[in-house]
Structure 1
C-alpha cells in the first residue's frame, strides 16, 4: 500500500469545477442501482401505472384491427363476439362497474393488511407489505382492465358504414375478465399467506441475505491490514479531526445511501481526504457534522457536491444498512415476548432466522472503511458496522426481553453455537462468547427451576467447548 502523501494536496485552489462535476456525473450503478430499484418497488403506483399504459397500448392494437375489419380490409374470425352498439355499451358498462367495485375491495383488503401489519409486526414492517409485488400486480391488473373497458366504451360511435362496434376489443375484454378472476383468486391466497408471521419473518431474513450479498460483492478488497498501514490511517484520522474543516448536515433525516466511489472521485479531484463519521442507518441532525475534509481549503469544493453523493430520507432502508434487517427481526421478537402478546414461539422463530443471517454475515462480511483512488492514495474514510456490533444488536435486546425464559435462552445459545462454527476470527469468536456469557449470567440470576437452569447451562457448555476447539481461541 502506498501511504498517503500530504504533498499531493497542494494546489487545491486550482481545482476546476468542471473536473469535480465530471467526477459526480458518473453513471450510477452497483449498490446504488439496488437502492433505486428498492425505492421504486416501494411505490404502490408504479406497477399499476405501467399496467395501465400496457392496457392502453393493447386497446390501440385491438381497435386498429377493429377499424380494419369495419373498413373491410380484414375479416373477423367467427368466434369473435358480435352484437349491436347498444349491446356492446351495456356489456362494457357492466364489466367496468364490476371491475371498479373489485378494485375497491382489493384496496380495502390492502389497507386492512397494512393496518394488521402495523399493529402486529410494527410500523417499520409496512414498507415490506407495500413493496409486495403480488399486491401491486393485482391492483394494476384490475385498474388496467377498468381503463381498457372505458376506452373501448368511448370508441363506440357512428361511422361511415353504420355504428362502429369494436368487436375484437370487446372479445379481448372478456379475456381480461377471465384473467381478473384468476388474479383475484391468487390475491386472496397471497394475502392469506403473506400475513402469516413465519412468512413475514422469512421474507425479512431473505431480504437481509440479499442485502449482505450485494454489499459484500460491491465492497472493494480490504487494504491497510498491515500494522504500518493501520498506523498511517490512524495518523490521518487524527490529522483530519484536529486540522480538518467540518461540513454541516443540510437537512435532518436517516442516512440511506452513500456513493463511496463518487466521494473518492470528488476527493481525488480536490486533492483532499474525506472522513464520514456516520454510516447508513444513522440519523443526521441538521447543522451537525456531516463530514470532515482535509486540507481545509478543499472543504468548499467538496461540500458543493457532497450532498449529491449521499441520500437521506425519513426512514431506514436495507440497501446499505444491514443492521436494519436485524433490527426488524429483533423488533418482531421483542413484541412477541411482551406481556401483552406472550408469543414465545414467534420469538424463537426470529432467533432461528437471526442465527441463519449472522452465519451468512460471518462468512462474507468484510466492510471497507478506507477507500483509495486509482493511484492508491487514501481519499475516503467511512464508518462501517462491525460484525461484533451486529451480534450485539441481534441478541442483546432479545436477551433482555427474554429475561427468565429458558426457552429463549436455549434457542439463543443454539444460534450462537451455529454462528461460532462459521467463525475463525478471534475477535468475532470472542464477541459471540461475550453474548453467551451474558445469557448464562441471566440464566443463573433469573431462572428459579434447577432443571431449566441445567438445560441452559448444558447449551452454554456446548458453546464454550466449540469456542475452545477453534484454532484462534488459544
Structure 2
C-alpha cells in the first residue's frame, strides 16, 4: 500500500494511513509469505546450530585421538550425502505438487461457491504449515550438502554432518505426514458443507465479540467539535485499531465516533471520525489507526459472514448451477447466525477506556440490515424452488420465536413478501400450498 493521510477538519490534523491491518496478527493470517519466510529463517538457524554440534563432535573425537570413530562417521556421511541429495530434489517436486493442488482448489472454490471464499484457503493453517515445512526441508538439505567435507583423513576433517543428516531425515518424515494431512484438508475445503461451516464459525466468532450494551447515539455524545477525513487511496475500510483510538481519545479527553462501517468503501475526502468534546487528537496519536484495503475481512466486520453465505446461496440458485440443496445449507447457517445475534444490542459498539468511559463508538449493522442481508436476495431467487422457500419460512418462523418482540417486524415482512411472490409466480394452488409449507430440511 502507498502511504496516505488522514486530515482533520479542525486543527488540520494529518495522520498517515496505516500500511497494514491492525492488529498485525490478523494481517499476517491473510498472507502466504509470512509463515514460509519464518520457516526458511528457522531452517537456517537450525542448520547453523546442527553444524556447530557436528563440528564439536568431530573436534572432541579428534582431541581424544579416536580417529576410528571419525573414520566411521565419514563413511556414514558418504551414504547420507546421497540421501540428502535425493531429499533436496524430491522436495522441489513436492512443493510443485502442493502449489498445483492449492491453485486448483482455489479456482474450483471461487467458481463454485464465491470469489470471497478464497480467503479461507489463504488462511488455511495446514496449507501454510505444509508449504513452510517443505521449503524449510529443501533449504536445510541444501545447506547440509555444503557441510560435507571432501577430506578423507580423519585427522584433518573439520566436520561430518551427522546431526544435520538425522535432522534432514526427520524433516522429510514430518513433510510426508503433513502432505497427507494437507491432501485431506484440501479435499475437505473443496466440499461446500465444510466451506459454509468455516464461514459460519468465523462470523459467529465476530458476533461473540459484540458487547452486551447499547452505545450512545450522536446526540448523546454531545456536539461535534472536530472531524477527520480520509486522504489515502480509495478502498474498503478493513479495520480500526481500537486500542490506539481509545488511548488517543482518552489522552485528549474526547469521544471519537467512527462514521463508515467496517466493510464500507471509502474514497479520499470521506469523513471517517467525528470528534465530540474537544479538539481532534494529534497526528501521531491517530497514525496507523485505520486500515483501508482492497477487500473485506472478518476481523471486525459483523456482516461479512452473511455476505458470503448469501453469495453462496445465490450462486447455488442461479440457472447455471441450479443447486437448491446448497442454498438450503447456506440458509441453515444464516438462521444460526441471526439467532445468535438476536439478543445483542446492534447498531453501534461502545469501546471504553480503563476507567469505564466511552471513548470510541463504532457503527455495526443493525438487526433489520442483517436480516435483509441474509434473506432479501435469496428470497428473490427462491420462488421457483419449493425446497428453498420452505426452508426460508422455517428459518423465519424459528427466528420469530427467538427474536425479541421489537425485532420481529423485518422477519414478518420477509415472510409476507415471500408468500406474495409465490402467490404471483406459482400457478397451481397445490404447488403454492406445498411451497409455503415450512420445513427445516426444505423438502424432508
Q: Normalization by structure 2: what TM-score?
A: 0.83
Distance 2:360 2:166 in 1: 62
Match of 2:241 among 232, 245, 259: 259
1:298 offset after TM fit, Å?
2.0
Does residue 1:298 correspond to 2:279, yes or no?
yes
The superposition leaves residues 296-347 of structure 1 with CA deviations (integer Å, 9 ceiling, x where unpaired) of x724x45664453222211111111110111011111111111111111111
Give the number of aligned pairs: 415
Distance 1:450 1:337 in 2: 23
Distance 1:46 1:379 in 2: 34
Change in Cα spacing, 1:183 to 1:376, as seen in structure 2 (3 Å) is closer
For the residue of structure 1 that corresponds to 2:238, the secondary structure is strand
Q: Tell me the equivalent position of 1:121.
A: 113
Distance 2:345 2:160 in 1: 64
Q: Is the 8 A contact 1:84 1:165 kept in 2?
A: no
1:179 offset after TM fit, Å?
2.2
Match of 2:84 among 85, 92, 113: 92
More moved, 171-180 vs 38-47: 171-180
For structure 2, the residue ranges without an aligned partner over 5 or more in a row are: 1-9, 16-20, 440-444
Does residue 1:110 correspond to 2:102, yes or no?
yes
1:65 offset after TM fit, Å?
3.1
Distance 1:279 1:109 in 2: 36
1:149 offset after TM fit, Å?
0.6
Change in Cα spacing, 1:36 to 1:455, as seen in structure 2 (3 Å) is farther
Match of 1:404 among 374, 384, 406: 384
Match of 2:93 among 93, 97, 101: 101
Q: Tell me the equivalent position of 2:258.
A: 276
Matches within 5 A, 1:1-400: 35-73=23-61, 83=75, 86-158=78-150, 161-163=155-157, 164-213=159-208, 215-216=209-210, 219=211, 221-222=213-214, 233-234=218-219, 239-240=223-224, 244-251=225-232, 252-294=234-276, 298-299=279-280, 301=281, 305-364=285-344, 366=346, 368-369=348-349, 379-400=359-380
More moved, 41-50 vs 52-61: 52-61
For the residue of structure 2 that corresponds to 1:47, the secondary structure is helix
1:136 offset after TM fit, Å?
0.5
Q: Tell me the equivalent position of 2:408.
A: 429
Q: Normalization by structure 1: what TM-score?
A: 0.78
More moved, 53-62 vs 168-177: 53-62
Q: Tell me the equivalent position of 1:469.
A: none
1:166 offset after TM fit, Å?
1.1
For structure 1, the residue ranges without an aligned partner over 5 or more in a row are: 1-11, 22-31, 225-229, 461-474
For the residue of structure 2 that corresponds to 1:278, the secondary structure is coil
Change in Cα spacing, 1:382 to 1:451, as seen in structure 2 (3 Å) is same
